[in-house]
């Protein structure tokens, strides 16, 4: 795994500063501790930081074609590169290395943008074609690898694996996008293609860009429109049944293809279904014991380490485990530096720690991420489908009046038994399916955000609402199957904005490559066509996956109550992190941006501290924004 950087100008006569590119590339040195490399041309420059995995001795970047007409910098792994290389060699292409990077470069020369359909893996790359005067920029289908870009006022475009790469350029514009703040407070991350900075965009998963350079002076610079080259098979007919043997065959293949490495390789093992399934497949494919790593917690109800040990014992893995305690939340400051923008998934802390642990033993780790999104494992899917039965039975105009009233005036009873906590349900029943799903998964629901916002901030938003994110994703698509709709929305927002962001930054901070077999695009294309009825059956999420795994994992692993990779946030915000929280919420840097009504914010904090309400998710989300704003003001 690596980091890439680049500077492009629409005019070939525009000067490119070598010093600026080197500063940008140095900002991501953690992503590639083994080597760095540069290419400087007319109006274009590319940089690379390398973590050596394949062709360790000869795969340095940038790689330049034999005729000097094309050059590439690449972050990721192409797992079928050998097969593509054989095809290209048969067409007369000569190889200088054994790396997958060179295969992408040759594939571009042979097939142009259609080369993307050949690639199986995770990737983000920049290819400069000197003959065509084109810069080809692409990101993998599921957004495993990141790519950011920004247009400067002088017409120069910057590229980087992380936002900090762009920020290292002296002309970077730090102006914030306040609609992204609204998005963040809703989702807990800034969904693609936005970033927290007004001029920085994220290239969306399954998209590419083509920049055309002109020979003379360029006119007014405008960014090209990203082109989508892949999508989930959202409108394809379903398979007739779960096909358990086929599921295991496809899954085993997606694991097997990810085992190529010239450096030590292992796996994360939480003790949950998905990571245990990956380890089970690895154990059957490798002749040597699998190295596994897990993180436990010092609060028993959040600690899955004993379940990880059960799977480790079954498959005789070389297992390593460490415990996270509240002192590890001193990492809060580091998280802001790591993610470059507000990011509220508190599991980023144990993810950071398990990556730190894994890097002591391996350079590549396989992860179990993806099973919940692909096979409907989250509790929210089950609740959404139950609510949908009511939405289907009662017309919207009736639901809006009845449930809208109840949702507005029903109290928030966090302290009450589960069956009495109906406020969110009433709100969701008054909405359309996609609006309801957004409401159910929001860190702060719309009414909560509006209560917190200052009037000045509402004016700044000018009527913008984070619900537009889902509207843009659906773009007129109509789903008869509302569970599939929710999964599709998650793949387009949550998967790229939360999961892949979390794992990429946490792993790269330690020079660790993480591979995700459950997000293999061929496996995803097949599994996404499973009927919802076999994924969510008899109240059991991920039913088809669990059923197929019964020969490989014990029932206690497959069918015990899901814990997730969560942390005891509510307790920590009432205890060791209380002072940190109150300090951030009251900071002058936060008040300066005129986002929150301070009295409402502090009331929310005190309600949580008292134990009467559980505001941990929303308070943590606000805290991470506050932490970002404090850091941002300090850097000015």
As to burial, measured by CB atoms within 10 angstroms (0-12 exposed, 13-18 middle, 19+ buried), residue 368 is buried
The distance from CA 589 to its chain's CA centroid, rounded to whole angstroms, is: 28
171's tokens: 């002309």
62's tokens: 């940038």
Round to whole Å and give the CA distance between 609 and 593.
25
Is-contact 24 48, C-beta < 8 A?
no
Is-contact 449 457, C-beta < 8 A?
no
244's tokens: 């358990």
- Report H helices in 96-197: 100-111, 163-167, 178-187
Round to whole Å and give the CA distance between 558 and 81.
34
* Residues 17, 105, 112, 115, Cα dihedral to 10°: -130
Is-contact 448 416, C-beta < 8 A?
no
E strand or H helix at 171: none
Q: Compute the Cα dihedral for 104, 106, 107, 113 and give only its sign.
A: positive
Rounded to 10°, the helix 578-585/598-610 angle is: 170
Catalytic residue among 2, 115, 293, 355: 2
Question: For the chain, how are helix, strand and coil distributed in percent, rounded to 5?
Answer: 45, 15, 35
Is-contact 76 140, C-beta < 8 A?
yes
- The residues, any chain, with a CB within 8 Å of residue 252's CB and separated by 6 or more, are 281, 284, 285
Is-contact 605 619, C-beta < 8 A?
yes
Rounded to 10°, the helix 616-634/598-610 angle is: 130
Round to whole Å and give the CA distance between 128 and 468.
35
* DSSP letters spanning 502-569: HHHHHHHTTT-EEE-GGG-HHHHHHHTTS-HHHHSBTTBTTHHHHHHHTTTS-HHHHHSPP--S---H
* Residues 232, 233, 239, 244, Cα dihedral to 10°: -20
Query: Which one, of 317, 369, 379, lies nearest residue 348 by Cα?
Result: 369
334's tokens: 């580091």
194's tokens: 């936005």
115 tagged catalytic = no
- The residues, any chain, with a CB within 8 Å of residue 509's CB and separated by 6 or more, are 30, 338, 352, 355
Cα atoms in the 13 Å half-sphere on the side-chain side of 168: 23
**Catalytically active residues, by annotation:** 2
């Amino acid at each position: 795994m690596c980091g890439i950087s680049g500077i492009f100008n629409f005019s070939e006569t525009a000067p490119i500063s070598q010093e600026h590119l080197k500063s940008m590339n140095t900002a991501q040195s953690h992503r590639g501790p083994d080597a760095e490399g540069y290419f400087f041309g007319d109006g274009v420059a590319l940089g690379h930081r390398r973590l050596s995995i394949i062709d360790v001795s000869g795969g340095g970047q940038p790689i330049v074609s034999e005729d000097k007409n094309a050059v590439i910098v690449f972050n990721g792994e192409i797992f079928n590169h050998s097969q593509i290389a054989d095809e290209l060699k048969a067409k007369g292409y000569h190889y200088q290395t054994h790396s997958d990077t060179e295969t992408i470069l040759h594939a571009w020369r042979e097939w142009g943008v259609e080369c993307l359909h050949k690639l199986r893996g995770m990737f983000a790359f920049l290819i400069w074609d000197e003959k065509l005067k084109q810069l080809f920029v692409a990101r993998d289908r599921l957004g495993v690898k990141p790519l950011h870009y920004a247009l400067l006022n002088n017409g120069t475009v910057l590229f980087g694996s992380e936002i900090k790469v762009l920020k290292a350029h002296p002309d970077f514009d730090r102006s914030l996008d306040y609609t992204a703040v609204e998005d963040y407070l809703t989702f807990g991350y800034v969904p693609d293609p936005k970033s927290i900075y007004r001029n920085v965009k994220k290239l969306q998963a399954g998209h590419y860009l083509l920049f055309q350079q002109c020979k003379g002076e360029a006119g007014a610079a405008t960014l090209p429109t990203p082109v989508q080259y892949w999508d989930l098979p959202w409108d394809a007919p379903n398979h007739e049944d779960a096909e358990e043997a086929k599921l295991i065959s496809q899954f085993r293949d997606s694991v097997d293809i990810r085992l190529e490495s010239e450096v030590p390789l292992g796996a994360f093992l939480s003790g949950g279904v998905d990571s245990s399934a990956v380890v089970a497949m690895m154990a059957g494919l490798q002749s040597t014991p699998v190295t596994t790593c897990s993180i436990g917690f010092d609060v028993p109800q959040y600690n899955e380490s004993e379940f990880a040990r059960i799977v480790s014992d079954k498959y005789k893995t070389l297992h390593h485990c460490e415990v996270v305690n509240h002192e590890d939340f001193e990492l809060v400051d580091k998280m802001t530096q790591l993610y470059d923008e507000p990011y509220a998934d508190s599991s980023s802390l144990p993810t950071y720690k398990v990556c730190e642990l894994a890097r002591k033993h391996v350079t590549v780790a396989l992860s179990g991420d993806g099973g919940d999104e692909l096979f409907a494992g989250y509790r929210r899917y089950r609740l959404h489908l139950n609510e949908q039965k009511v939405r289907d039975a009662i017309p919207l105009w009736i639901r809006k009046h009845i449930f809208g009233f109840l949702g507005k005036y029903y109290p928030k009873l966090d302290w009450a038994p589960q069956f009495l906590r109906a406020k969110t349900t009433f709100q969701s029943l008054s909405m359309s399916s996609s609006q309801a799903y957004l409401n159910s998964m929001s860190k702060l629901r719309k009414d909560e955000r509006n209560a917190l916002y200052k009037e000045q901030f509402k004016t700044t938003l000018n009527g913008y609402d984070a619900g537009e994110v889902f509207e843009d994703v659906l773009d007129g698509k109509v789903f008869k199957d509302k569970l599939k709709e929710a999964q599709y929305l998650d793949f387009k927002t949550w998967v790229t904005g939360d999961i892949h962001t979390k794992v990429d930054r946490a792993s790269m901070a330690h020079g660790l490559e993480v591979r995700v077999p459950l997000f293999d695009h061929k496996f995803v294309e097949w599994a996404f066509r499973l009927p919802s009825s076999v994924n969510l059956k008899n109240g059991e999420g991920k039913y088809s996956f669990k059923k197929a795994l019964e020969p490989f994992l014990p029932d206690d692993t497959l069918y015990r109550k899901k814990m997730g990779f969560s942390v005891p946030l509510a307790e920590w915000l009432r205890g060791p992190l209380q002072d940190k929280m109150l300090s951030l919420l009251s900071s002058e840097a936060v008040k300066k941006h005129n986002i929150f009504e301070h009295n409402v914010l502090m009331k929310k904090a005190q309600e949580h501290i008292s134990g009467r309400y559980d505001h941990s998710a929303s308070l943590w989300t606000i805290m991470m924004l506050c932490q970002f704003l404090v850091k941002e003001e300090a850097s000015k």
